[in-house]
Structure 1
Amino acid sequence: MSQTTATSSEYATNDNEAKAKFELKKNFGFWSGVALTIGTIVGSGIFVSPVGVLKSVHGSIGVCLLVWVGCGLIAMMSALCYCELGASLRTSGGEVTGFHAAYGPALSFMFLWSRLMISNSTSSAITLQVFGSYLLSPFYSDGCAPPDSAIKLIAILLLCFLIYLNCVSVKKTVKFEIAFSITKFLAMALVATGGIVCLALGNEAGRYNFENAFAAGPLTAITAWDVGMAFYQGSWSYTGYHILYSICEEIKNVKKNLPQATMVGLLLVMVMYISVNIGYLSVLTVDEIISSKAVAVTFGHKILGPMAFIMPLFVCFSTMGNQNGSYLADARLPFAAARSGLMPRIFSMIHIKFYSPIPALLAHFTVTLFFILLGDVESLINAFAFLGWTTTGLNAASVLILRRKLPNLDRPYQIPTVIPILLVCLSIFFVVVPFLRRPSFVIVYAVIFYILTLIGYYLYVVKKLRLPKSRRATIFLQKLLQCAETDWDGNEFEKAGK
């Protein structure tokens, strides 16, 4: 073979295969989209760390619940922005595609590497270790934590299984996500129903909590900074609602199913999150919640007795579904970026039989494995915690920019202009205020990282510098992984701009 990458037609075994368009398959309808949205949003957070919101507002029950409602409303507004962009651009890659269209390839490149090398992989590494910790916890007595080596081993095994599943069958990945979304709702329903029943039976802690929900003591201690930090904590549990935006090309009737599935899934999560918090507060005192490292487990010990092991098991199921959906979305980022020339060509290829972006999945696997073995990555997550709000603000602003930049782009519907404007203002507050209140050297690390990505963009994209024998390496990997480039005819925003 000459030193060029093979096309999909070279792998075809008959005329019909040669004529068929080689692309990602449309495996997602309305209900599978709803399940994927729920499965990606709901992870270990709602079962482990509602503590942060209550602690931030000094134990005020009423303000805590209002914050959870507010976080849900912000997530819904942001999701509406994603829906307008996704239904208009109709190209996989999520923010990589949207930022490319609105701001150009340089910012898209910077965002891509921030997500791949820091945000997604470090968050995944921590979540997988949460799974390992909870899976092993029933086998260790009280006060005895599982060894780190065992936790890491379990995390690596789960990582291998989920990446393998995403590689060999997108349909099985969808079925897996649907099954675990149902499990998550059962877990949340158990907490909500169990708490409300206890409250109805006269639980003293619950009755005291709700009778004093807006007690003057905690209210007078709350500052605007405290409310902001509570939103910071609560918003973490809502991340993942952008999942369908990242896989637009794989959604049936994307103009209809993308917005409907996203909003229905997010609304169900919002209702269940509030119900779960009411469940916790119906059984546990404020001090018990704030002092708990895993509030769902504390809740389980309080009302389930010998059956308390169910709660760690539910946390494990929830974590598996969350990570499964995350890998599905995360792999589409380098896939879409490579098609636009922002990453090596090998990442723009999919398997000739499974129709999955295996090179992109393996890249995510490698970085995540590194961070699992590295160990302490929480500092990295905190260092780039503002990335989420930065993304929200840039995404909202891109809605307004693209309306002016590409007025002829087919938009099935438009959200009210006030929504992206409000989100931009909120994002500026949540990004800037923490650094004004508590200046941190963290921002220096962020600036250095972004400068390095811009240097990489200049060398790789602008100057088109390549390592020696990179084309030969691409062909070798292509043969090894049995991948080929898709029959892709370009981004929708590029066509609309012509």
Structure 2
Amino acid sequence: MSATSVDSIKCENNGKKDEKKFELKKNFGFWSGVALTIGTIVGSGIFVSPVGVLRSVHGSIGVCLLVWVGCGLIAMMSALCYCELGASLRTSGGEVTNFQLAYGPAISFMYIWSKLMISPGTAITLQVFGSYLISPFFSDGCTPPDSAIKLIAILLLCFLTYLNCVSVKKSVKFEIAFSITKFLAMALIATGGIVCLALGNEAGRYNFDNAFAAGPLTAITAWDVGMAVYQGNFSYDGYRALYFISEEIKDVKKNLPRATITALSLVVAMYALVNIGYLSVLSVDELTSSKAVAVTFGHKILGPMAFIMPFFVCFSTMGNHNGVVLANARLPFAAARSGLMPHIFSMIHIKYYTPISGVLTTFFLTLFFVLVGDVESLINAFAFFEWAVTGLNSASVLILRRKFPKLDRPYRVPTVIPILLVCLSIFFVVVPFLRRPSFVFVYAVIFYILTLIGYYLYVVKKLRLPGSRRATIFLQKLLQCAETDWNGIELEKDN
């Protein structure tokens, strides 16, 4: 065996030998890690429109609840794969590192740009915030102007961007506070619904007495169940948030697996209880026709206090976008250290120790999509992306075990789990293409071709625009940032 330097992800520290390294600070412990994971998973979806699963299974209550729990178990299995990778590699930036090691820099480059393109989908979340915040000031039947909703969304975006630029600690405290708020909201829905059911709510009793009624069951096909899982899976997206900030976790070997598993277990349980709460009060028709289920639920059981539900939705969207900004800003940071993005992104603020250029990149991309407004077509084009990442990530666990058997792995996921996830991912990536081919997928294919061309020009041929060095120096001075003392990682590999 011999120690092999991974050149593709190694960065020199310019000869610095200071005892105190200039690097990202470890601001995340166990509870803050739990809060970030919960905050990134739980957005507006569970409060606004959790009906995709129910529609896919033709209104079958029993199958709907089973799918929600099943999606949670799939997310848990995938999270366990991330726990092994994060605890062993301990580098920020999500899949940037393990994709490079397992598949090479070209695949990692394609992943980076795909992730950056779909991440501004949170523009929808910001506009949900704007809509719910302003709607109480308009009478029934009056629709708030789109310009006002976008203005509020932009103001929130600016605030969260500023927060993540100047203080990771304050961002963490913000996330903890709003994660608590989210659980209070979900607990209110679950408890209120179950109490109504116990008191004899007719809609609730009918729903659960006929949970596995023959009518809906006979109409359900394997394709319907698959699409229900496809829908439900998006509600759990965000469980890998801690993997993106592995370098900033205290005692990462222990806290990354513990915090991720704890947070996801709580979310799975609360999602199931919230759905039970909804179904204890609302009929299937009311659920599937409502554009804001939590608000409809609030009007049913809270009476004059129903106004608190829109505020809970606002709090949830704020916490969700804060978690997304915090995690996604580490992506260009890690990519630049690997030579896959411009050098400026590998630097952090000299006073605040934040990847300021990554935060601002997320800001400008999201701002663009808030102003344009048409994000759904982009999300549809990359609908298969998350499943593809899940499959590639799960396979990388097995590949890295073979390539680097001596790598310290404080946590090891059972081998059957990544194998099962690879099979599921192949199904959910390939079947939609075969079952319902859509021209929108052509955009994704064109995008990946352009990405490979960009990789060849930027990484292989190392072509740079004229004046790029001077631009880097200018931005470095403007943003007051400098390169970190990061020496890459050393891995042992068979000759």
Q: TM (normalized to structure 2)?
A: 0.96
Aligned to 1:4: none
Note the C-alpha offset of 1:8.
Answer: 9.6
Note the C-alpha offset of 1:296.
Answer: 0.7
Aligned to 1:395: 393
1:87-109 CA-to-partner distances (Å, cap 9, x unmatched) read: 11111111111211111110000
What do you get for the CA RMSD once the two structures are aligned?
Answer: 1.6
Note the C-alpha offset of 1:143.
Answer: 2.4
Identify which of 315, 339, 351 aligns with 1:341. Answer: 339
- Cα distance in structure 1, aligned partners of 2:286 and 2:300: 11
Note the C-alpha offset of 1:19.
Answer: 4.2
SS in 2 for 1:333: helix
Deviates most, 377-386 or 186-195: 377-386
Cα pair 2:406 2:493 within 8 Å, conserved: yes
> Do the aligned partners of residues 8 and 304 (structure 1) sit closer, same or farther apart at CA in structure 2, a change above 3 Å counting?
farther
- Cα distance in structure 1, aligned partners of 2:270 and 2:420: 25
1:229-276 CA-to-partner distances (Å, cap 9, x unmatched) read: 111111111000000111000000100000000000000000000000
- Cα distance in structure 2, aligned partners of 1:257 and 1:322: 21
- Cα distance in structure 2, aligned partners of 1:99 and 1:133: 39
SS in 2 for 1:27: coil
Identify which of 185, 188, 193 aligns with 1:187. Answer: 185
- Cα distance in structure 1, aligned partners of 2:358 and 2:328: 8
Deviates most, 94-103 or 353-362: 94-103
Aligned to 1:41: 41
- Cα distance in structure 2, aligned partners of 1:184 and 1:492: 41
* Within-5 A mapping of 1:104-115: 104-115=104-115
Cα pair 1:90 1:492 within 8 Å, conserved: no
* Within-5 A mapping of 1:82-481: 82-117=82-117, 119-121=118-120, 123-481=121-479
- Cα distance in structure 2, aligned partners of 1:172 and 1:21: 22
Note the C-alpha offset of 1:73.
Answer: 0.1
- Cα distance in structure 1, aligned partners of 2:154 and 2:32: 27
> Do the aligned partners of residues 162 and 496 (structure 1) sit closer, same or farther apart at CA in structure 2, a change above 3 Å counting?
farther
- Cα distance in structure 2, aligned partners of 1:245 and 1:431: 23
1:7-26 CA-to-partner distances (Å, cap 9, x unmatched) read: 9999x9xxxx9542000000
Cα pair 1:8 1:352 within 8 Å, conserved: no
* Within-5 A mapping of 1:1-40: 19-40=19-40
Cα pair 1:246 1:332 within 8 Å, conserved: yes
Note the C-alpha offset of 1:497.
Answer: 7.4
> Do the aligned partners of residues 366 and 497 (structure 1) sit closer, same or farther apart at CA in structure 2, a change above 3 Å counting?
farther
SS in 1 for 2:380: helix
Note the C-alpha offset of 1:114.
Answer: 0.5
Structure 2: tracts of 5 or more residues without a match = 1-11
Cα pair 1:9 1:18 within 8 Å, conserved: no
> Do the aligned partners of residues 141 and 402 (structure 1) sit closer, same or farther apart at CA in structure 2, a change above 3 Å counting?
same
Cα pair 1:35 1:177 within 8 Å, conserved: yes
Cα pair 1:349 1:357 within 8 Å, conserved: yes
- Cα distance in structure 2, aligned partners of 1:288 and 1:168: 45
1:183-220 CA-to-partner distances (Å, cap 9, x unmatched) read: 00000000000000100111000011001000000000
- Cα distance in structure 1, aligned partners of 2:98 and 2:136: 45
* Within-5 A mapping of 1:49-68: 49-68=49-68
Structure 1: tracts of 5 or more residues without a match = 1-6
The one-letter code sitting in structure 2 at the alignment partner of 1:323 is H
Q: TM (normalized to structure 1)?
A: 0.95
Note the C-alpha offset of 1:492.
Answer: 4.6
- Cα distance in structure 1, aligned partners of 2:63 and 2:215: 12
SS in 2 for 1:457: helix
- Cα distance in structure 2, aligned partners of 1:222 and 1:101: 42
Cα pair 1:300 1:308 within 8 Å, conserved: yes
Cα pair 1:89 1:492 within 8 Å, conserved: no
- Cα distance in structure 1, aligned partners of 2:494 and 2:483: 25
The one-letter code sitting in structure 2 at the alignment partner of 1:48 is V
1:404-460 CA-to-partner distances (Å, cap 9, x unmatched) read: 111111111211111001001111111111111111112211110001011000000
1:122-170 CA-to-partner distances (Å, cap 9, x unmatched) read: x111111111111111112222221110111011001000010001000
- Cα distance in structure 1, aligned partners of 2:431 and 2:285: 29
- Cα distance in structure 1, aligned partners of 2:332 and 2:493: 23
1:290-317 CA-to-partner distances (Å, cap 9, x unmatched) read: 1111111110111111211111100110
The one-letter code sitting in structure 2 at the alignment partner of 1:474 is T
- Cα distance in structure 2, aligned partners of 1:126 and 1:27: 29
The one-letter code sitting in structure 2 at the alignment partner of 1:228 is G
Cα pair 2:193 2:277 within 8 Å, conserved: yes
Aligned to 1:482: 480
Cα pair 1:163 1:362 within 8 Å, conserved: yes
- Cα distance in structure 1, aligned partners of 2:461 and 2:136: 56
Q: Which runs of 4+ in 1 moved over 6 A?
A: 7-10
Cα pair 2:403 2:493 within 8 Å, conserved: no
Cα pair 2:67 2:232 within 8 Å, conserved: yes
The one-letter code sitting in structure 2 at the alignment partner of 1:90 is R
- Cα distance in structure 2, aligned partners of 1:376 and 1:482: 34
- Cα distance in structure 2, aligned partners of 1:224 and 1:437: 12
Cα pair 1:169 1:356 within 8 Å, conserved: yes
SS in 2 for 1:484: strand
The one-letter code sitting in structure 2 at the alignment partner of 1:444 is V
Cα pair 2:13 2:487 within 8 Å, conserved: no
Residues paired across the two proteins, number: 484
- Cα distance in structure 2, aligned partners of 1:140 and 1:491: 56
Cα pair 2:27 2:168 within 8 Å, conserved: yes
